[in-house]
Structure 1
Amino acid sequence: MRGRRLTRPEAPGGSPLRSPDPLDARLMTRRAAWLTGLHLLVPGSAQVLAGSRRLGRFGLALWLLGWAALLLSGLSLLVLPQAVLTLPTNALGLTLLQALLVAWAAWWVVVTLDTARLLRLVRVPPIGRAVLAGVLAAALVAGVGGAGWGAWASGVARSTIGDVFAASRVEPPADGRYNILLLGGDAGAGRSGLRPDSVSVVSLNVLTGDMVTFGLPRDLDRIPFADGSPMKALYPDGYGAGGRCNVDVCQLNSIYTEAQLKESARYPDAVRDHSSAGIEATREAVEGALGIPIQYYVLVDMGSFDDLIDAMGGVTVTVKDRLPVGGHIVNGRLTGVKVWIEKGTRHLDGDKALWFARSRYGSAAGDYDRMLRQRQLQAAMLHQMNPVTLLTRFDDVAAAGSSTVSTDLPQALLGVIGGAAVQARSQQARTIEFTPPRVQDPTHPDWTAIHATVQRALR
C-alpha cells in the first residue's frame, strides 16, 4: 500500500460535459463557462449536452421555431407587411401574443434554473462561481423582465386599440385605395364647439403603399356636398353659396360646427358608427370637393395634442418663421408676447408645439401657413414615434393617444392600412395643397379642375 499512487477516477463515458471529474477545479470552471455560454446563445443546448435531453430538445425546438418566426416576419415585412401587422393590431392577436410571452417567461425560468443546476457551481472556485451565478441571474431577470414588459405592453395596447378603434364597419377600398379624412380639430376660446382647422385626405394604395395627401384650406367656400348627403338638400348649390349658412362664418371648417350643433338629427346613426354629425357632414363635403369616396376619418384633438407630445418627450420641427407664444393684436400691432419660437430646427415641448401649430401671427402666409404647420407637426409626430420612445414611455403615449385621437377605423383594417403605411415610408409620398396659387380664390373654387387634379394624382 505504501508504494501505490492515488489517482482520480475517470469520467464515465469520457464526456467532460455530461460526466466531468468533480475534483478537477479547472475542468469544472471551463465546463460551467461553456454551458452558461451555450445556454445564453442557444437555450436548450446545455441540457442536450449535459442534462435532460428531452428538455433540451424541447428548448432547441422552441429556439429554432422562434428564429424561424422572426425570419419569416422580417421577410414578410419587406414583401407584404399587411400580413405581419395584422397580429399586433387587433385584440385577439394581442391576447395571443400576451399568452405566448407569459409562457415563454415561464419556460425561461425553468431552463435557466436547470442550467444553474447543471453547472455544479459548488465545484467551481469562488470567483468563477460568483461570476457565473451573476451572469445567470442577470439573464433570468432580463428574460423574464423583457417578456413581462412585452405582456404588459400587449395588454395596454389591446386596451388602447379597443378604446380608439372600436368601430366594426369594414368598407372596401375604392380602386385599390383607402381614402382617410384627417382632421386637426381645435375648440378654441370663444368658439361654439370644435372646428377642424386642418383638413386633409390621405389616399393610400393598400397593395403598393403609394400615398397621396390632399390638403384643403379651411376657408373654402361654395363646397358641393356629395350625392346622397343629407346636407345637400339644405345647400344644393354648395355650402356658403350666396352667403347662406346657419353659423357665423360660411366656410369648410364651419360645416362641422353647423351639423354638430344644429343638424345632428340628419345623422341619427352617426354615434352608433363611432362618428358624429359634424364629422359625417364634413366627410360628405370633402367627398364633393375632391370627387372621391372617403371610407374613414381620423380626428386629432389639437387641444390635447400637447399631452401626446410631452408623453413622447417632445418633437423636433423646422421653424421657417419666428413665431410668438401667445400675444394679441392691439391697434394693428402684436403685443403681450414674452416667448418666441425662433427660426431653425427646434425641439419643442407640448405647449410650444401647440403654439407652433396654432399661432396666427408671425407669418405672411397667414392661415395657409398655419394649416401647413399643423400638418408638418402631425407628420413629425408620426416619423419620430420610434422604438425607444415606445419602450420607455409606452403607457404615457398610449394614454395620451387614446384621448387625442378619435376615428371610425375598425381593428380589422389596422394591419392592412398599417402595412401599406410601412410600404409608403420607403416611397416618395406626394402632397397636393389646394391653396393659392393652385386655387387662386378659395371663395370661388373651380371644382371641375380640382377633381381632374385629384384623378391625375391617383392615376
Structure 2
Amino acid sequence: MSLAASPIRFPDVSSRTVMTRRGWWLVLLNVLIPGSVQVLAGNRRLGRFGLGATLVLWFLAIVALVVWLAWPTVLYTILTTTAGLWAIAIVALFYAVLWVVLTLDTLRLVRLVKTSPGAGPGMAALSMVVLVALSGSAIYGAYVATSLSGFLSSVFVQSPPAPPDANGRYNILLLGGDSGPDRDGMRPDSMTVASIDATTGQAVMIGLPRDLEYVPFPEDSPLAAAYPEGYGAIDGCEVDVCLLNSIYTEVELKSPEMYPDAVARGSEPGIDAMIDAAEGVTGLEIQYFVLIDMQGFEQLIDALGGVDINVDTRLPIGGDEDNNNVDGWIEPGPQHLDGFHALWFGRARYGVAGGDYARMGRQRVLQEAVLRQFNPQNVLAKFQDVAAASADVVKTDIPQSALGYFVNLGMKTRELPIVHVELVPENGIDPAEPDWDYIHALVQQAVAPPATEDPAE
C-alpha cells in the first residue's frame, strides 16, 4: 500500500468508523512511541525529532539500568552531584515540554469531531491522563533534582574524599548533640564510632560512654600538649567536669583557637576536638564526622514516617531518678514510634530506664532502626519533609563527591549484621580508670579480627 493511500495520513474523513479506528491508533502510538504519530500522519520534521528523543530516552534508561546493576556507585554519584542533578532536571523539563507538544499535536491530527460521538471524549481523556502522568512526573522529578542539589550543597562539603585507613575501613564519628535551654552550649550526649569496611560495607559500632575520664589524644593533637597525661589528669580542665563529652564544650567555648581552620573545612573547633578524643579512645583514624542535633532529631523521624522499635523495658517520658513527674510511658513490645517517642526511647536514663549505659544500648538500637528505614525509596517518597528536617538536623564533613560511594556502601551495610563494641563496665572497662591498651585491643579485635586458620591445612 502506498503512503498516498495510507488511511493514517490520508484518511476518509467522511467515515466515522475509519476516523475512530485511526484516532485510537494515533492516541496509542503517541503513548507507546512518542513522535511516531507525527512521522506517520503529521509534520515529519517534528516527528523525527520526537521519535529521536524517545529513542534517546529509552537508550538512557537501558544504560542507567545496566550501570545500576554493574556499577551502582557510578549511578549514585551522578544522582548526588550538583552537575548530575541539574543535568537530570534539564532533561526532565525538556521531555515534559516535548510530551505536551506531541500530545496536543496528536489530538489535532486525530480530528476528534470526525470520530464517533462516544469515542472522541475517551481519546481526549486517555491522552490527558497519560500527559499529566508523564509530564507531571518529569516536572516533579526536575523539582526533586534541583531541590536535592541545593540540599546536598548545603549539608555536604566540597573537598576531596579521604582514603580508608590501614585496615581498609572508613571510621566515622557519630555525635548526638543536645543543646537544650539548660545547657551552656551544645554537649554531645551520644558518641559512636562507626567503622565500615570500605569494600564489603560490614560495620562495627563502637559506643563511647560520655563519662570516660583521662581521655588521651593523638600526639599531633593540640590537646595532647595541653593534657599530656590525658584530659584533666593534671590540675583538672577548664570546665566543671573533665569527662569525654566535656571536651567539645571546653574547646568550643574556651579555646577555639586550637583548631583555627575547623570552620573553613566544614567542621567546628569542638567537633575537631571530639575527633581527636575519639581517635585517642579507640586507636582508630577518624576520617569523617556526622553531628545530629537531638533537638531536631524528632523532626527527622517524623519526616521518615516514624520508626519501628522492639522495646525491651517500659521507659518513662520525663521524670527524675525516682520516676516522679513522669509525663507518660513507652510500653514494652514492638512499637512504631513517632519522633517524640523515639527521642525519649534514646534519651531516657532515669529510674527503670537503667542509667547511661542502658541508654547507650538503646541509642544503638535506634540508630540501626533509622538506618534500615533511611533508604532511597523511603526518602524519595517523603523527600520534601526529609530534606527540610535534615538540613536543620545534620552537620557533616563528608564531601559531596564521595556521596555516591557511601550510598552504595550503606546499601551493603544494611544487608549485613552489625558488630557492637560498648566501652562499658560490663565489658571490663572502668570509665574512671580506663585501661587504654585494653580498649585499643578490644577495638582492633572487632575491626580487624585475626584470620582463623583453616583446619584442613
Q: TM-score, normalised by structure 1?
A: 0.89
Matches within 5 A, 1:267-306: 267-306=259-298
Letter in 2 for 1:20: P
Same amino acid, percent of matched pairs? 48
Which of 148, 154, 159 aligns to 2:150? It is 159
What SS does the corresponding residue of 2:316 show, helix, strand or coil? strand
Task: Read off the aligned partner of 2:331 and give its amino acid letter.
Answer: E
Query: What is the distance in 1 between the residues matched to 2:353 and 2:3?
Result: 88
SS at match of 2:417: coil
Partner-residue secondary structure (3-state), 2:265: coil
CA deviation map 1:76-114 (0-9, x unaligned): 334332211111212222222211111111111122122
- For 2:419 and 2:195, the matched residues in 1 are separated by 10
**Matches of 1:364 and 1:316 in 2, distance apart?**
19
The answer to whether structure 1 residue 352 and structure 2 residue 341 are counterparts is yes
1:304–1:403 CA contact under 8 A, matched in 2: yes
* Matched AA of 2:162: E
User: What CA deviation, in whole Å up to 9, does each residue of 1:286-325 have, x standing for no partner?
Assistant: 1121112111111000011112223333333222111111
The separation in 1 between residues aligned to 2:70 and 2:290, in whole angstroms, is: 27
Q: Which residue of the partner structure matches residue 455 of structure 2?
A: none
Letter of the aligned partner of 1:316 in structure 2? Answer: D
Question: In the aligned structure 2, how far is the partner of 1:161 from the partner of 1:125?
Answer: 53
Q: 1:12 to 1:364 in 2, by over 3 A?
A: closer
Q: How does 1:231-380 map onto structure 2 within 5 Å?
A: 231-241=223-233, 244-329=236-321, 333-361=322-350, 363=352, 365-380=354-369
Which of 104, 108, 127 pairs up with 1:136? 127
Deviations 1:324-353 (A, max 9, x none): 111224xxx211124211112222222222
- Give the letter for the 1:233 counterpart: A
Q: How far apart, CA to CA, are the structure 2 residues paired with 1:48 and 1:262?
A: 74
The residue type paired with residue 34 of structure 1 is W
The aligned counterpart of 2:388 is 399
For residues 10 and 327 of structure 2, the distance between their equivalents in structure 1, rounded to whole angstroms, comes to: 78
- How many residue pairs are counted as aligned between the two chains? 447
Residues in 1 aligned to 2:428 and 2:52: alpha-carbon distance in whole angstroms: 63
Deviation at 1:164, TM superposition (A): 1.0
CA distances 1:358-406 after superposition (whole Å, capped 9, x unpaired): 1113545421221232233333233224566545542232121111011
Cα distance between partner residues in 2 of 1:24 and 1:322: 77
Contact 1:81 1:422 (8 Å CA) reproduced = no
1:42 is aligned to 2:29 = no
Q: Distance in 1 between matches of 2:53 and 2:286?
A: 45
Q: Structure 2 CA distance, aligned partners of 1:44 and 1:207?
A: 45
1:402-459 CA distance string (max 9 Å, x none): 1101111221111222222123233333333223432432223332233233333333
Question: What CA distance in whole angstroms lies between the structure 2 residues aligned with 1:89 and 1:439?
Answer: 43
What is the identity, as a one-letter code, of the residue corresponding to 1:447? W
**Higher deviation after alignment, 246-255 or 397-406:** 246-255
2:372–2:414 contact (8 Å) kept in structure 1: no
The CA distance in 2 between the partners of 1:15 and 1:428, in whole Å, is: 64
Once residues 324 and 189 of structure 1 are traced to their aligned partners in structure 2, the CA distance between those partners, rounded to angstroms, is 21
Residue matched to 1:98: 89
1:104–1:147 CA contact under 8 A, matched in 2: yes
Unaligned runs of 5+ in 2: 449-457
Match of 1:120 among 93, 111, 129: 111
Matched residue type, 2:293: D
Distance 1:49 1:369, change over 3 A: farther
- Are the equivalent residues in 2 in contact too, given 1:81–1:420 (CA < 8 A)? no
**3-state SS of paired residue (2:420):** strand
Question: Cα deviations across residues 110-162 of structure 1 (Å, max 9, x unaligned)?
Answer: 22122222322222112211111011112222222212211122222122112
1:178-208 alpha-carbon deviations (Å, 9 max, x no partner): 2211111112343222111111122233443
Secondary structure of the corresponding residue to residue 398 of structure 2: coil
Alignment partner of 1:109 is 2:84: no
Residues 1:182 and 2:174 are matched in the alignment: yes
Structure 1 unmatched ranges of 5 or more = 1-9
**Conserved? CA contact 2:205–2:420, under 8 Å:** yes
- Give the distance between the partners of 1:98 and 1:116, measured in 2 at CA: 27
What residue number does 2:454 align with?
Answer: none
Taking the aligned partners of 1:54 and 1:235, their CA distance within structure 2 comes to 77
CA RMSD of aligned residues (A): 2.4
Question: Which of these residues, 196, 201, 211, is aligned with residue 209 of structure 1?
Answer: 201
- For normalisation by structure 2, the TM-score amounts to 0.90
